[in-house]
Amino acid sequence: MVASTGTTAREGWSSRSAFVLAAIGSAVGLGNLVRFPAEAGANGGGAFVLFYIFCVVLIGLPVLLSEVLIGRHGQAAAPLSFRRIAEESGGSGAWSIVASLGVFSAFLVLSFYCVLGGWVLYYIGLFGADVFLSGPASGAFAGSSFEEVDALFGAMVSDGLSTSLLDIVFLAITFLFVARGVSGGIEKVAVYLMPAFFFLLLAITIYGMFGGAMARTVDYLFTFEPEKLTGEVMLAAVGQAFFSLSLGVAGMVTYGAYVGRDVNLASTSGVIAGADTAVALIAGLCIFPIVFAAGLEPSGGLGLMFQTLPHAFSDLPFGTLIGLAFFVMVAFAALTSSVSLMEAPTSWAMDRLGLARPVAAMLVTGAAAVLGVLSALSTGALAGFHPLGFIPLFEGLGILDLLDSFTGKLTMPIGALLTSVFVGWVVSRRLLDEESGLGGGVHRFWLFLVRWFCPLMLALILVSGIFPETTARLFATLGAG
């Protein structure tokens, strides 16, 4: 066994609700506010949404419980937790590699997530300046055409100096909380910002209700047309479910290590997954009415947040103020997620390198800043640089998109797959019985899911991510047959 100072084991959440809020803070982020609405729109609305909920319950929740359980029983940074449990169960200590891979991918996600966080800060600046210039009651960017509002995004992403600096600002804010420790910093950011986030989300949703487009939104998001449930839609839903729950990068293992013995892990995981899903659905009910009320059509991807919504705000009463509130809300959600992404490599550096927390966090911040600046420049000065462009999967991708694809299509599904195999097949039954907080039939059902269902579904996502065309053809053939 690796000599360990076990530093992380001495820290812990001050209460169950602090843990619940921090975990919800990790889960709720850009994935709920941008990715979910965009994916739902692109994938047939109701069919996607319904299947998404199915995936959260049958894949997300069992893997979430597995991750938190490994952390709590291991009481250490993720790799050491995996090793301890493997050895206690008579398995190989090499399972810690799964967590090491996870910690590394959490670091990669952190590096580009904070670039996007910096973009959000930039838009807070744009709307904030507008509130001062035109007052809170007017539409945003009064006097600008849609094209001019659109062009703000292009101007931002090609402005490498601003995006690099804002990336570093976002990283530095994240650092301030991580450096103060679990109960002193990480849970503080969640305890203050999550309630503020929920308040803003509800306020903006209610504002949207008055625009008159709620009926169309509900129609758009919830009309279930079974024929739209194709293989591709199902795979998009599975991928979205575990991205949104922060699974597959050992982040929830790390948070689990700070959970007390008296907490029921199963019911707590249920609360976390339920809240994350509710926020995704409410985000849809918040964003689309605003878009529809302005007479716009939803666009996919990042354009929805950085172009379509600013358009809409430019056309609506109190658009400057609501726009500002909206981007502040997004920044809060992104910050509680980036804190969790930084904590995984930080706790690793504390355990493995024996560093004090602030030093470990500084090391991670510095490394993430270097990679982050490269990502920030990849939409401008480095736009033509495609580091792994010779691999078909990564063809034509700049650093930012490459890191997103590499983690989303490879390391996260692999991490989640191996975690569920580990819990399903390696960890001793006695340990699972003691830790899961489940009884009888539900416990057996959970075991069935982590042994068979989750690995199978995750393997499918992985294959479809690597061979999109072959998989699409296969599904088309199956559908036709």
The answer to whether the beta carbons of residues 259 and 74 sit under 8 Å apart is no
Q: Choose one: 226-234, 295-303, 335-343, 419-427; the region binding ligand TRP (CB under 6 A).
A: 335-343
Please select the residue that binds ligand TRP; options are 71, 139, 208, 251, rule is CB under 6 A: 251
Encoded tokens for 124: 């807070």
Closest to ligand TRP by CB, 63 or 294: 63
Closest to ligand TRP by CB, 139 or 239: 239
Burial (CB count <10 Å: 0-12, 13-18, 19+), residue 15: middle
- One-letter amino acid identity for 200? L
Give yes or no for residue 201 binding ligand TRP (CB under 6 A): no
Q: How far apart are the first and last CA of the chain?
A: 54
Closest to ligand TRP by CB, 95 or 107: 107
* Eight-state DSSP code of residue 139: P
Residues 85-124 close enough to bind ligand TRP by CB under 6 A: 109
Minimal distance, residue 52 CB to ligand TRP, in Å: 13
- For the chain, state the CA radius of gyration: 22
Q: Which residue has the tokens 């650093």?
A: 399
Please select the residue that binds ligand TRP; options are 25, 29, 46, 117, rule is CB under 6 A: 29
Encoded tokens for 71: 């952390």
Closest to ligand TRP by CB, 109 or 461: 109
The answer to whether the beta carbons of residues 126 and 150 sit under 8 Å apart is no
Q: Interior CA angle at 74 toward 343 and 346, to 5°?
A: 15
Give yes or no for residue 249 binding ligand TRP (CB under 6 A): yes
Burial (CB count <10 Å: 0-12, 13-18, 19+), residue 146: middle
Residues 365-424 close enough to bind ligand TRP by CB under 6 A: 412
Closest to ligand TRP by CB, 201 or 294: 201
Closest to ligand TRP by CB, 68 or 149: 68
Cα–chain-centroid distance for residue 439? 30
Q: Choose one: 68-76, 244-252, 397-405, 453-461; the region binding ligand TRP (CB under 6 A).
A: 244-252
Minimal distance, residue 249 CB to ligand TRP, in Å: 4
Give yes or no for residue 243 binding ligand TRP (CB under 6 A): yes
Please select the residue that binds ligand TRP; options are 30, 290, 304, 450, rule is CB under 6 A: 30
The CA-atom distances, in angstroms, between 69 and each of 59, 245, 374 are 16, 15, 36
Give yes or no for residue 340 binding ligand TRP (CB under 6 A): yes
Give yes or no for residue 269 binding ligand TRP (CB under 6 A): no
The answer to whether the beta carbons of residues 337 and 109 sit under 8 Å apart is no
Please select the residue that binds ligand TRP; options are 164, 244, 307, 346, rule is CB under 6 A: 244
Work out whether the CA dihedral 129, 134, 136, 139 comes out positive or negative: negative
Give yes or no for residue 217 binding ligand TRP (CB under 6 A): no
Q: Choose one: 30-38, 50-58, 188-196, 355-363; the region binding ligand TRP (CB under 6 A).
A: 30-38
Q: Which residue has the tokens 């419980």?
A: 65
Closest to ligand TRP by CB, 29 or 319: 29
Closest to ligand TRP by CB, 26 or 420: 26
# residues contacting ligand TRP (CB under 6 A): 16
Give yes or no for residue 164 binding ligand TRP (CB under 6 A): no
Minimal distance, residue 136 CB to ligand TRP, in Å: 29
Closest to ligand TRP by CB, 107 or 127: 107
Minimal distance, residue 317 CB to ligand TRP, in Å: 30
* Eight-state DSSP code of residue 297: P
- Contacts of 228 by beta carbon, 8 Å cutoff, 6+ apart: 43, 44, 45, 46, 47, 48
Cα–chain-centroid distance for residue 326? 18
The answer to whether the beta carbons of residues 201 and 279 sit under 8 Å apart is yes
Closest to ligand TRP by CB, 240 or 314: 240
Cα Dmax for the chain:
69
The contact set with ligand TRP (CB under 6 A) reads 26-27, 29-32, 109, 243-244, 246, 249, 251, 337, 340-341, 412
